[in-house]
Structure 1
């Protein structure tokens, strides 16, 4: 009877043991499923930290570009001071100088944001797109003028400051734009603003040139072109350059989702679990 009386006890113990064992077998599987979620925040933070270090590198690069822009503007001012016909107020009539000054502001703003945020705000990249377009067009136009100078019986010197303003800074700014994964996804309507500044500058330059008899570029000077049609032709080419380059830069901002934008969502999902 003792043996029979103890059998139910052993049965209950065995049942409890089986249940406990089943829990032990189920628990590791559950933990295995939860482990990626538990490790995701740490992994995401590590990856985010790595990407932030890249952003900081972009910030340092933009600071260097801003300094290079200031040095180039000062160097170019010192260079043109050597011309007997140079007037200080004419210096600020060059589109290259104005766009170079705007580029310095854009580089500084871009550096500050890169040090503090993983993703650029749309207003900054809208401004960067316009400035990058302007300095690239300035470089293309200046290169065209240098090439055409040989057919017009005069030579244009290209000092180091002019090389920085027209070639090196625009080229590096373009590289910065193309490789920056933290820039905003800009709408196509952004390109509609690209002609605002050149249009205002062109109207002011033509009106001022008629009063003072000086133009910053030969194709705007009636005395150096065959007539208004040639000036109009050059202007249309400039419009095509501005809009085409702005459209290309806008397209590159829309190519793919930015990886830094996916990180916060992944961290939030992992934390929620």
Structure 2
């Protein structure tokens, strides 16, 4: 079995782990009977993991059928992995901030899988996985555009229902507009930084499958 085949199987296993974790996380949230649990799909972290699930399935099938990822798959991987990795970093910061503010925050095993384990495995796969092409720098714009659009919609929706998925988007929970703006700018900078890091890695260490050596070519080499 080739390395590419193993890589495809690994992608599908990660997709299964992501799917199970998403279902568990939703059921766990609904059991709390809170507005947060009822707005499961409003979280950027959840949306990014749903995109990760779809990507892992498509990427796994492609890896089992082709020796190299097509360019469009590398573009999508760059964007989705940037969102997923950043979501994990933001989640870790939220847990830390909740502790500083004395707000109890329970972290189920599904959150650990979605926000920490899968992103780490995705980074490893990005670095050593076979058949990946270099990513394009202009994808940073796409990576940053998604949270901006999501943020605008979330602010509008939050003003109507009185609830926001993350505390820093709610002016009632921060010291003022300055903290709100700086936190949002910091989050966007992290998105851009993660995307730039992935693109840089893709150009520094691009792994491609070896070309098969034909019988006639072997004779010439001898």
- TM-score, scaled relative to structure 2: 0.92
What's the CA shift string for 1:90-120, capped at 9, x where partnerless? 1110011100100001001110110011111
Distance 1:256 1:152 in 2: 42
SS at match of 2:104: coil
2:38 is the counterpart of 1:85? no
CA contact (8 A) 1:80 1:86 kept: no
Structure 2 Cα separation of the partners of residues 236 and 268 of structure 1? 58
Change beyond 3 A, Cα 1:120–1:150: same
1:65 equivalent in structure 2: 14
SS at match of 1:222: coil
What is the DSSP-based 3-state SS (H/G/I as helix, E as strand, rest coil) of the residue aligned with 1:153?
coil
Unaligned runs of 5+ in 1: 1-49
Q: CA deviation at 1:257?
A: 5.3
- Higher share in helix: 1
Distance 1:84 1:54 in 2: 46
Q: Tell me the equivalent position of 1:233.
A: 182
| Aligned equivalent of 1:182 | 131
Summarize deviations over 1:3-52 as a string: whole Å, max 9, x none: xxxxxxxxxxxxxxxxxxxxxxxxxxxxxxxxxxxxxxxxxxxxxxx7xx
CA 259–150 in structure 1, closer or farther in 2 if over 3 Å, else same: closer
* Corresponding residue of 2:217: 270
Match in the other structure for 2:87: 138
How many corresponding residue pairs?
A: 220
Structure 2, gaps ≥5 residues long:
none
Q: By how many angstroms is 1:84 displaced? A: 2.7
Provide the rounded CA distance (Å) in 2 between the counterparts of 1:68 and 1:98.
Answer: 16
In structure 2, how many angstroms separate the alpha carbons of the residues matched to 1:168 and 1:258?
23
Residue 251 of structure 1: aligned partner: 200
Distance 1:94 1:256, change over 3 A: closer
Q: Which has the larger radius of gyration?
A: 1
Once residues 111 and 88 of structure 1 are traced to their aligned partners in structure 2, the CA distance between those partners, rounded to angstroms, is 31
Query: Partner residue of 1:173?
Result: 122
Q: CA RMSD in A?
A: 2.0
Alignment of 1:47-58 (within 5 A): 53-58=2-7
d(CA) in 2 for partners of 1:268, 1:212? 69
Alpha-carbon shift at residue 259 of structure 1 (Å): 3.9
